[in-house]
Chain A
């Protein structure tokens, strides 16, 4: 099955700096890559996703890039704010089939210091 690796496991940045989280996947059939943010005591919240026919996607301060050849994708957060502090998970799945289960990375604890 699919294997998703996520780095780093912890990341501390100063408010206003950028944060980058990287993931790799193993199954070339995977074509859908969501990112989730999980705050303490809450379920994961979908923040952005990208499909394999797109190389980059942006939504305000958040962007995701995908390199299908290298099988890696990254989350970029610019102008970080203390409220960005949370655990971020990347995931991979095969869209458009009954095999749509999400395979998750182990998570990155992001701390933004004021």
Chain B
């Protein structure tokens, strides 16, 4: 069974631009969560989607948004990029966090560099 895939793997943008990252969960998984990983803040939760609905959101500004499609694939968008948005963005998929099974499997991440 294929794992979680994320595209692109690397991205370089300049301040003020916007970016869209994509995540395809493991086949059959319906929940997708996004995390930001930086050396300074570690792994921080951005948001979680299930059945095209955002169920949970972390403490990030409104510049960070996401969505989920009917096939469970998810995208996250960051608008008006800032230098501090440089990070590894990780996507994790699971069956559903409300099913009693919280096992979350991560993709390889998208390395975003903002210049």
Contacts and interface: CB of A to CB of B under 8 A. Distances in A.
Q: On chain A, which size bracket covers the interface? A: 20 to 34
B100 interface: yes
A8 interface: no
A104 B43 contact: yes
Interface stretch (B12-20, B71-79, B102-110): B102-110
Interface stretch (A18-26, A38-46, A54-62, A67-75): A38-46
A100 B106 contact: no
Interface in B42-78: 42-45, 48, 55-56, 58
Contact of B100 (A95, A99, A103, A105): A95
| Size class of the B contact interface (CB-based, 8 Å) | 20 to 34
B43 A101 contact: no
B98 to A, nearest CB: 5
- If over half of B's interface residues share one DSSP class (helix, strand or loop), that class is named, otherwise mixed; here it is strand
A83 B90 CA distance: 23
Contacts of A99: 56, 97
A34 B94 CA distance: 13
A7 interface: no
B33 interface: yes
B103 A34 contact: yes
Interface in B79-115: 90, 92, 94, 97-109
